[in-house]
Structure 1
Amino acid sequence: MAEPKDANVNTHAGSSDMDGSEGHGPVGRPVGWMYRGFRIGGKEIWYASPKIQLLMVSIVCFLCPGLYNALSGLGGAGQLDPTVQDHASTALYSVFAIVGFFSGSFANKLGIKTTLAFGGAGYCIYSASFLCYNHTANVGFVVFAGAFLGLCAGLLWTAQGAIMMAYPPEKSKGQYISTFWIIFNFGGVIGALIVLAQNLHNNTGTVTDGTYIAFIVLMFLGAVIAVFLCNADSVIRDDGSKVILMKNPTWSSEFLGLWECIYRSPWVVLLFPMFFASNIFYTYQQNGVNGAHFNVRTRSLNSLLYWLSQILGAVIFGYALDFPKIRRSVRAKISLGALFALTFAIWGGGYAWQRQQVLRPVTQQESYEAQKLDWTSPGYVGPMFLYLFYGFYDAVWQTCVYWYMGALSNSGRRTANMAGFYKGLQSAGAAIFWRLDGLHTEFNTLFAVTWAICAASILIAAPVVWLKVKDTTDLEEDLKFSDETVEDVVPVTALEKRTSATV
Structure 2
Amino acid sequence: MTITEEINHDIVQKKPFYRSVPFQIAVAAGVSFTAPGMWDALGGLGAGGAAEPYAVSAANAILYALFAVFCVLAGAINNRIGLKYGLAIGAIGYPLYGAGLYTNNKTATTWFMIFGSVCCGISAGFFWSAEAAIIIGYPSPKERGFYLACWQTAKASGPIIGGAITLGLNANRQTAGSVGSATYIVFIVLMCLGLPIALLLSPANKVWRKDGTRVVVRKESSLWTELQAVAKLAASRRIVLLVPAFFISYFYNPFVSTWLTSYFTVRSRAFSSFFTPFAGIASSFIIGTFLDRQSIHIRSRAKIAFLGIVLLLVGTWIWAIVLERRFQKNPPVYDWFKGGFGAAYGVTFFLTFTGQAFQQYLYWIVGQYTSDLSSLSHHTGILRGLEALGQTVAWAMQSQANVNHFVSIGINFGILLLCIIPTWIVISALDRTHEIVVTDEVLEGEDGSKDKSDELPSGAQTPTLA
Instruction: Report the TM-score, using the length of structure 1 for normalisation.
Output: 0.84
Matched, 1:397 2:358: yes
Quick one: which of 393, 403, 408 aligns to 1:446? 408
The residue that corresponds to 2:61 in the other structure is 90
In structure 2, what is the equivalent of residue 301 of structure 1? 271
Query: For residues 261 and 341 of structure 1, do their structure 2 counterparts lie closer, same or farther at Cα, with a shift above 3 Å needed?
Result: same
Q: Indicate yes or no: 2:459 matched with 1:496.
A: yes
Any residues of structure 2 matched to 1:1-80 within 5 Å, and which?
26-28=9-11, 35-36=15-16, 46-80=17-51
AA partner of residue 217 (structure 1): V
Corresponding position of 1:227:
199
Q: Partner residue of 2:231?
A: 259
Give the letter aligned to residue 278 of structure 1: S
Deviates more, 1:383-392 or 1:409-418: 383-392
For 1:85 and 1:162, the matched residues in 2 are separated by 30
Partner of 1:22: none
Paired letter, 1:496: G
Q: In the TM superposition, what whole-angstrom CA distance separates every residue of 1:98-152 from its partner, at most 9, and x where no partner exists?
A: 1111110111111111111111111111111121123332211111111110001
Residues 457-501 of structure 1 show CA distances to partners (whole Å, capped at 9, x for unaligned) of: 13221111111363345689x99xx998999899533x41449xx
Alpha-carbon distance change, 284 to 51 in structure 1, aligned in 2, over 3 angstroms? same
Query: Could you tell me how far 1:262 is from its partner in structure 2?
Result: 4.2
Q: Which residue of 2 aligns with 1:470?
A: 432
Once residues 469 and 422 of structure 1 are traced to their aligned partners in structure 2, the CA distance between those partners, rounded to angstroms, is 22
Distance 1:416 1:426 in 2: 15
Q: What's the CA shift for 1:212?
A: 0.2
1:154 aligns with 2:118: no
Q: State the match for 2:255 in structure 1.
A: 284
The residue that corresponds to 1:340 in the other structure is 310
Calculate percent identity across the aligned residue pairs.
Answer: 27
Tell me whether 1:110 sits opposite 2:110 in the alignment: no
Report the CA distance shift for 1:165/1:137 in structure 2 as closer, same or farther (over 3 A).
same
Amino acid at match of 1:432: V
In structure 2, which of residues 189, 211, 219 is the aligned counterpart of residue 217 of structure 1? 189
Query: Aligned to 1:320, which of 283, 286, 290?
Result: 290
8 Å CA contact retained: 1:127, 1:216: yes
One-letter code aligned to 2:9: P
Following the alignment from structure 1 to structure 2, what is the Cα–Cα distance between the partners of residues 93 and 120? 16
The amino acid that maps onto 1:454 is L
Long gaps (5+) in structure 1: 1-10, 16-24, 37-45, 364-370
Report if the CA contact (8 A) 2:141-2:437 is conserved.
Answer: no
Residues 424, 13 of structure 1: alpha-carbon distance in 2 compared, 3 angstrom cutoff: closer
2:126 maps to 1:143: no
Q: Residues of 2 paired with 1:164 and 1:239: CA distance?
A: 17
Query: CA–CA distance in 2 between the matches of 1:488 and 1:172?
Result: 27
Change over 3 Å in CA distance of 1:273–1:30 after alignment to 2: same
Matched AA of 1:171 = K
Q: CA shift at 1:87, angstroms? A: 1.6
| Counterpart-to-counterpart distance in 1, 2:421 and 2:274 | 32
1:304 to 1:498, Cα distance in 2 relative to 1, 3 A: same
What is the aligned counterpart of 2:214 among 234, 242, 252?
Answer: 242
Partner in structure 2 of residue 100 of structure 1: 71
The letter of the residue matching 2:201 is L
RMSD, aligned CA: 2.8
Q: TM-score, normalised by structure 2?
A: 0.90
Q: Find the structure with the greater CA-based Rg.
A: 1
The separation in 2 between residues aligned to 1:163 and 1:452, in whole angstroms, is 33
Aligned to 1:357: 327
What is aligned with 1:181? 152
- What count of residue pairs does the alignment treat as equivalent? 454
Which amino acid is 1:380 matched to? F
Residues 296-353 of structure 1: CA deviation (Å, up to 9, x unaligned): 1001112222211111111111111111221222211111111121122222222222
